[in-house]
Amino acid sequence: MMRIAIVGPESCGKSTLGKALADYFQCGYVAEYAREYFAIHPHQHYDIHDVISIAQTQYQQENAMATEYAHLICDTSPLVCRIWAQVKFGHCPIEIAQLESSVSYHGILLCAPDLPWQPDPLRENPENRAALFDIYLQHLSAGSTPFRIVTGHGKQRLACARQQLSTMGIVL
């Protein structure tokens, strides 16, 4: 079982890249559960318990997909929920930290915020994407999972991601 996570600030092309990689490699794709969650629950009044619930369900969906596919592209990870909780609420709940330590990825792709901001009712941080990117970079640099930064637009971004997976020795 090989898992690749795609992380980064809002509006940096994670979902588009994840779907494109899954199509290219003909492997499983785990969509970002937060979108589904907020389609059911009102976004404007969420709290830390919502972020925990999102992280837990995302983790469950990943594990369920892992029984069906040998390779997974995951559009988010517990790290995304950790940073979201820290930025929005000032701390990371133990439940998210535990999820983060219980899942392992063979590699992580960190999407640079070099794409134009796309407004979306679920997005909250158009002005601080560079600062959020730096937070991701710090967390990933301190960890042991190999990661690479993905840049570029359109097909260039997909090609960059494929090249970066190759530099980590990941062959899907």
Confidence class for position 64, pLDDT limits 50, 70, 90: very high
Q: What are phi and psi of 152, to 5 degrees?
A: 100, 170
Catalogue all structural domains in the chain, each as residue range(s) with its CATH number: 6-167 (3.40.50.300)
- The amino acid occupying position 85 is A
For the chain, the average pLDDT equals: 94
Tokens of 171: 């062959």
- pLDDT at position 126 is 77
* Mean pLDDT for the stretch of residues 99-121: 92
- Parallel, antiparallel, or unpaired: how do β-strands 107-111 and 28-30 relate? unpaired
Query: Could you give the CA distance from residue 120 to residue 100 in angstroms, rounded to a whole number?
Result: 27
- pLDDT at position 120 is 77
The count of other CB atoms within 10 Å of the CB of residue 165 is 22
CA angle, residues 55, 60, 65, in degrees to nearest 5: 125
- pLDDT at position 122 is 76
- pLDDT at position 124 is 78
Distance set, CA 142 to CA 39, 53, 117, 136, 148 (Å): 34, 26, 28, 10, 13
Cβ–Cβ < 8 Å for 3, 75: no
Residue 93 has pLDDT above 80, yes or no: yes
- pLDDT at position 140 is 98
- pLDDT at position 172 is 80
Residue 45 has pLDDT above 90, yes or no: no
Distance set, CA 29 to CA 18, 61, 68, 69 (Å): 7, 10, 11, 9
Instruction: Determine which of 7-16, 39-48, 98-107, 132-141 has the lowest per-residue pLDDT on average.
Output: 39-48
- pLDDT at position 117 is 87
Query: Could you give the CA distance from residue 157 to residue 152 in angstroms, rounded to a whole number?
Result: 4
Residue 151, C-beta contacts closer than 8 angstroms, at least 6 positions apart: 112, 114, 157, 160
User: pLDDT of 118-144, one tens digit each?
Assistant: 877 778 777 899 999 999 999 999 999
- pLDDT at position 141 is 98
* Mean pLDDT for the stretch of residues 42-57: 90
* Mean pLDDT for the stretch of residues 74-86: 96
Contacts 24+ apart (CB under 8 A), 166-169: 168/106, 168/107
Percent above pLDDT 70 for the chain = 98
